[in-house]
Structure 1
């Protein structure tokens, strides 16, 4: 199932093997992986809770 991450990116959730919330130098991002390769990342968030809420909204679309 394809899910729209933003205005330019659609992600095939059937191929995603893991999702990770990372603290990076410019903020917090959710990263999506197929096996060992990162295939997409989210926009920047200020708080981990904001990233978790955004990810939960994405996952609700998959159900």
Structure 2
């Protein structure tokens, strides 16, 4: 199954092995990994709860 990450990127959810929520300098981002390799990162979120809500709605 594919989910829309942004205007140009779709993720294959069957290949994602790990999701990490990181606090970076400009906000909070979700990082997506296949094995040990980061393959994508999300848009910025204001809070960790907003990032968790995005994950809950898009990864069912």
Q: Which residue of 2 aligns with 1:23?
A: 23
Q: What 5-or-longer segments of structure 2 have no aligned partner? A: none
What TM-score does the superposition give when structure 2 sets the normalisation length? 0.93
CA distance in 2, matches of 1:6, 1:53: 16
Aligned residues: 60
Using the alignment, how far apart are the partners of 1:41 and 1:55 within structure 2?
12
**Counterpart of 1:16 in 2: which secondary structure?**
coil
Moved over 3 A (4+): none
TM-aligned CA deviation for residue 6 of structure 1:
1.3
Cα-to-partner distance string for 1:6-47 (whole Å, 9 max, x where unaligned): 111100011100000001111100000001110011100111
* Structure having the larger proportion of residues in helix: 1
Structure 1 residue runs of 5 or longer lacking an equivalent are: none
